Amino acid sequence: MEAVHRVHAVAVSDGEIVASAGDAHLVTYLRSSAKPFQALELVRARDDLDDQDIAIASASHRAHPEQIEAVRALLAKAGAKEDDLECGSQDGRPEGRIYHNCSGKHAGMLATCRARGWRTEGYRLPGHRMQRANYADVAVAAGVEEMRTAADGCGVVTWALPLDRMALMFSRLDTSDEGRRVTAAMRARPELIAGDGGTDTELMRALEGFVAKGGAEGLLCAAGPDGLGLALKAEDGAYRALRPALALFLRQVGSELPDEFAEVAIHNSRGEPVGRLEASTNKS
């Protein structure tokens, strides 16, 4: 055994915790798991959106050609240009703001501002009406009045919440017209949310009725059928730990993922299998 990652997990249904592992009340930042909720105001503001637009606004894409084209299409609907994006460039990707993994969210915010008649400059800043609308949506879904905030990696606002409140949010995502529109788009276009191999994308492909969204520093949130909400957080921020942990935890709530979730092969640069990731309930 070369590394150990401790994962905290919680499941919520009908406002109550129905399963947990570790600290169900661990406080962390929502990061990109908030994107389906940040897309709610976009859906309210515009009636010209298709599944591609809503999915890419909810995505942390990998800059695949079809994902970049989806961002460009949403920018076109907003009457905006790549230079209007306030996410900046991202290390390890082609130069240009559109290649940032959050560019779809930013394009959605620009499209919202144009539809609402809000100024677009500074749409990412805490005092802007765009961010105030997002704050309100997150607070209502989480059932809180106030949240600690910080700047996310792409420059917009992110919010700190206990894991059980994040799970509660996702359990409620399908309860509004705009929320159902977001989840329908995510289910229809899972390849836009992350891409092949992404835990959230592959979860949506594997289990009918689920939607999922990962976030930086080892966070994954999901909504299942019948109002189930999930939140998992790798304490050390290791995103690779989430797939086997998710497979083990979902068994507690009656869902079974394929074997490739439960035991993840590790390969070296030659493509040879050299190890594996697997989850355990051992608390030592």
Q: Residue 284 — very low, low, confident or very high, per pLDDT cuts 50/70/90?
A: very low
pLDDT tens per residue across span 7-44: 999 999 999 999 999 999 999 999 999 999 999 999 99
For residue 277, report the phi and psi dihedrals to the nearest 5 degrees.
Answer: -110, 130
Q: Which residues of 45-84 are buried (b: 16+ CB within 10 A; e: fewer)?
A: bbeebebbbbbbbbbbbbbeeebbebbeebbebbebeeeb
**Residue 283 in domain:** no
pTM for the predicted model, two decimal places? 0.96
**Residue 16 in domain:** yes
**Residue 165 in domain:** yes
Q: Does pLDDT of 108 surpass 80?
A: yes
Q: Does pLDDT of 150 surpass 80?
A: yes
Spatial separation of the C-alpha atoms in residues 212 and 221, rounded to whole Å: 6
How many separate domains does the chain show? 1
Q: Residue 222 — very low, low, confident or very high, per pLDDT cuts 50/70/90?
A: very high
pLDDT at 275: 95
pLDDT tens per residue across span 193-209: 999 999 999 999 999 99
As a whole-number percent, the residues of the chain with pLDDT over 70 amount to 99
What residues contact 233, with CB distance under 8 A and at least 6 apart?
7, 8, 9, 26, 28, 163, 218, 219, 220
pLDDT at 188: 98
Spatial separation of the C-alpha atoms in residues 132 and 66, rounded to whole Å: 31
CB contact at 8 A, 222 and 212: yes
CA 28 remoteness from chain centre: 14
CATH of the domain at 21: 3.40.710
**Residue 284 in domain:** no
Domain that holds residue 237: 7-278
Q: Residue 45 — very low, low, confident or very high, per pLDDT cuts 50/70/90?
A: very high
Tokens of 97: 């703001």
Q: Residue 281 — very low, low, confident or very high, per pLDDT cuts 50/70/90?
A: confident
Across residues 253-263, what is the average pLDDT?
Answer: 93
**Residue 1 in domain:** no
Q: Does pLDDT of 282 surpass 90?
A: no
**Residue 230 in domain:** yes
**Residue 140 in domain:** yes
**Residue 72 in domain:** yes
Q: How does the average pLDDT of the chain come out, rounded?
A: 96
Q: Does pLDDT of 65 surpass 70?
A: yes
